[in-house]
Structure 1
Amino acid sequence: MRDINERLNYLIQTVPAKAGQYSEQEFSARKDGGWSKKEIMGHLCDSASNNCHRLIRIQFEKQPFVIVPYDQNNWVLMQDYHGMPLDEIISLWTVLNKHILRVISKIPDEKLGYVCDLGDNKSCTLLEWVQDYLGHLEHHLKQIFGISEL
């Protein structure tokens, strides 16, 4: 978990400065009908928000904890990340991920093996869920910044 905490802390420190190197227009551009970089950052805010609740509930509710998906496209659309100023999205992302970092740093080792039911006869442990959260975050940050390593 220490590696995960260190990596997330590094991203929290690095991403705002990297985003500051882009113009509002660059972050707002859409390609091939997909999300703009602002919308991808908004999606990462939604992911942090949803996963914060999950990371807490997995530890205290009936096992296995059932992961309920959310409609990512409608969340991005309804929150109008495309129309939000970039600095607000980056601030929101930063605060949410600082909070996620705080939550995951408090997970006791004995709870890391708790089971999450993903549906379709698939499951993972709480540790795997945390690892997946970081992997998902890194995947989208690489999309945004177009680099293989952040």
Structure 2
Amino acid sequence: MKKIIERLNYLSEVLPSKINQFSEVELMAKPNGKWSKKEILGHLCDSATNNHHRFVRMQFEEQPFVVVPYKQNDWVIVHDYLNTQTGDIVTFWTAVNLQIINVISKIPEEKLSYLCDFGNNKVFTFLELIQDYMRHMDHHLIQIFGTSDL
């Protein structure tokens, strides 16, 4: 958990300046009709808000906690990240992840073994859910920056 918290703190410090290295044209480009860099970052905001709720609710709701999926493409479209000010997306991403740090840093050790049910016989521990959140984020940061070395 310590490594995850350190990584999130680090990313919260460096991501804003790293994003600012791109021009708005680069941030809005949609390669092969896929999400732009801005939309990917917006998707990471959506992921953060959904996971923030999961990380809170996992601690006090009935076990196993049933994870409700969300329609990622629809969320990106509804939020219109492509036409949202980049600074606003970065501010949102940073704020939500700082709150996630606050939540996960206070999870009692015994709760990390709580189970969450994703359906289709997919069950993770709370710790695995948090680890998966970081893997997912790193996957998309590579799409944005072309490297995992942030």
TM (norm. structure 2) is 0.98
- Offset, 1:69: 0.3
Q: Deviations over 1:24-46 (max 9, x none)?
A: 11100100010000000000000
Does residue 141 of structure 2 align to residue 141 of structure 1? yes
Runs of 4+ in 1 over 6 A off after TM superposition: none
1:88 aligns with 88
- Offset, 1:53: 0.5
- Offset, 1:148: 3.4
1:19 is aligned with what amino acid? I
Q: CA contact under 8 A between 2:111 and 2:126: conserved in structure 1? A: yes
DSSP-derived class of the 1:59 partner: coil
Does residue 38 of structure 2 align to residue 26 of structure 1? no
* Aligned mates of 2:141, 2:112 — CA distance in 1: 26
* Aligned mates of 1:29, 1:122 — CA distance in 2: 35
Q: CA contact under 8 A between 1:24 and 1:85: conserved in structure 2? A: no
How many pairs were matched up? Answer: 150
Q: CA contact under 8 A between 2:39 and 2:76: conserved in structure 1? A: yes
Q: Deviations over 1:96-129 (max 9, x none)?
A: 1111111111111010000000100110000000
Gaps of 5+ in 2: none
Q: CA contact under 8 A between 1:58 and 1:116: conserved in structure 2? A: yes
Q: CA contact under 8 A between 2:141 and 2:148: conserved in structure 1? A: no
* Aligned mates of 1:137, 1:147 — CA distance in 2: 12
1:60 is aligned with what amino acid? F
Q: CA contact under 8 A between 1:116 and 1:125: conserved in structure 2? A: yes
Q: Deviations over 1:61-120 (max 9, x none)?
A: 000000010000000000100000111111111111111111111111010000000100
- Taking the TM superposition and a 5 Å limit, the aligned residue runs for 1:1-150 are 1-150=1-150
* Aligned mates of 2:130, 2:143 — CA distance in 1: 20
* Aligned mates of 1:57, 1:148 — CA distance in 2: 30
DSSP-derived class of the 2:51 partner: helix
1:44 is aligned with what amino acid? L
2:93 is aligned with what amino acid? W
TM (norm. structure 1) is 0.98
Q: RMSD of the TM alignment (CA)?
A: 0.7
